[in-house]
Structure 1
């Protein structure tokens, strides 16, 4: 899509079971989402919302709840969060903007559960990035991950809200690989109609150019951080997202696989790849 065709209204674009690419004056974005090898529908979703000449919100979510509840939870939460991100006054600080976006996501889930008791048990992870004047701020609940690549260095910016992560922090011993694997799938924090989970909110204190990578848990167990840096640095964002999804699939991943890759640069710079 050409830059001059970007929407100037805060209308979120959500991507599931598809590939999308978007360019702006200071960013280049690619998203790929693919259903895993399971009977359930794809519960992952990623997307963005254009919010002005130098502002954009992007996010990723992974739903849960059985049947179609997880599918609905992630779609509703991300759509509401992106809409809230872009719809606030310019005077609102980036951190408060993110906090309100998570609140908007929770309210959307709560309203859905009021009208349909069958989905009261649904929930979703949610990771958001807000770019304002090429500065990045992010919020996070659950076990999707956000990485930043600067040059040849890749750094994880988020913490998994899982039982395994909590046990590792407290030094609790796990006696087998099976125990550790099981604990990695138990969330200690997520968004659900019954729980208004507090997000981790932080900022990224580096100057452009840099690359942001958002992935669901269907991808990162199959790719080491150092390997991701080596494999992805020279790819376009869409090609990098496609490669992440393909590697997870080829290495045996059965979960839904979604990757969002975004290059951020000065408007006068050449694109990163």
Structure 2
């Protein structure tokens, strides 16, 4: 069975930020997709996110046979973490820089996804949108521990505090997910400027009315701006057909 993979990406600075600290990259030949959301003063967030994307694209092996898809992503992300952590300690202008990451690799039958932070991956299948990643945030940690007594203010505050990020510490442990791919599947990778500005149902509605990965990216970033554009908005849309 022949499988075609199509992809598009788009990044928008939003309506409130002066600079865009999101970065993305992909390589259709290797079925490799990466998106990052940087944090840090001055240009450091932009440096961290761009460095992480470039490192994963360069470190992920060519000709990966699928058996090491998850471990290959982990190693590439951990290499990016070491590089950014060391740069942040070596260069005063980059002190405190870090970035989220979500990376995906399609090996011909499965999609491997690895992430750190609160950028997310979703699967559009059969008219439903399924979230594939769980944020590395204080809020997610509290909810996993069964806390249900949090006020809206507490939830908003904790949602913005990451429990791990690329470059924030010497070691990082990416979470890896794998699932078998079906024809017609669409995978969305997005920074929080999209996935926290729009509800699951809003994103689903936009994706169902899109005719191509390019149109899906344009509709998502436009909707994030229409919702206030409080943050940079970046997404990659991958279609399997």
Q: Are 1:46 and 1:61, in contact at CA under 8 Å, matched by a contact in 2?
A: yes
Q: Which residue of 2 aligns with 1:224?
A: 199
Matches within 5 A, 1:108-119: 108-113=83-88, 115-119=90-94
What SS does the corresponding residue of 1:207 show, helix, strand or coil? coil
Question: Within the alignment, does 1:186 sit opposite 2:164 as a pair?
Answer: no
Q: Which runs of 5+ in 1 are unaligned?
A: 1-24, 266-273
1:189-208 deviations in whole A, cap 9, x for unaligned? 11116332100012012322
Q: Give me the TM-score of the superposition, normalised by structure 1.
A: 0.81
Question: Within the alignment, does 1:260 sit opposite 2:240 as a pair?
Answer: no
1:26-74 deviations in whole A, cap 9, x for unaligned? 2111111011334542111111024x4xx31001100001111111000
Q: Which residue of 2 aligns with 1:152?
A: 127
Work out the CA distance in 2 between the residues paired with 1:188 and 1:42.
23
What RMSD, in angstroms, separates the aligned Cα atoms of the two structures? Answer: 2.0
Question: Within the alignment, does 1:46 sit opposite 2:24 as a pair?
Answer: yes
Q: Are 1:48 and 1:58, in contact at CA under 8 Å, matched by a contact in 2?
A: yes
1:116-164 deviations in whole A, cap 9, x for unaligned? 2321311000100001114211101000010001120110000011111
What SS does the corresponding residue of 1:108 show, helix, strand or coil? helix
Q: Which residue of 2 aligns with 1:206?
A: 181
Question: Within the alignment, does 1:241 sit opposite 2:217 as a pair?
Answer: yes
Work out the CA distance in 2 between the residues paired with 1:74 and 1:180.
26
Work out the CA distance in 2 between the residues paired with 1:89 and 1:223.
35
Work out the CA distance in 1 between the residues paired with 2:163 and 2:66.
33
Work out the CA distance in 2 between the residues paired with 1:31 and 1:104.
24
Work out the CA distance in 2 between the residues paired with 1:89 and 1:28.
19
Task: Report how far residue 88 of structure 1 moved.
Answer: 6.8
Equivalenced residue count is 238
Q: Are 1:59 and 1:129, in contact at CA under 8 Å, matched by a contact in 2?
A: yes
Q: Which residue of 2 aligns with 1:72?
A: 47
Greater relative contact order structure (CA < 8 Å, 6+ sep) = 2
2:15 to 4, 14, 37: 37
Of the structure 1 ranges 108-117 and 119-128, higher mean CA displacement relative to structure 2 is found in 108-117
What SS does the corresponding residue of 2:193 show, helix, strand or coil? coil
Q: Are 2:25 and 2:33, in contact at CA under 8 Å, matched by a contact in 1?
A: yes
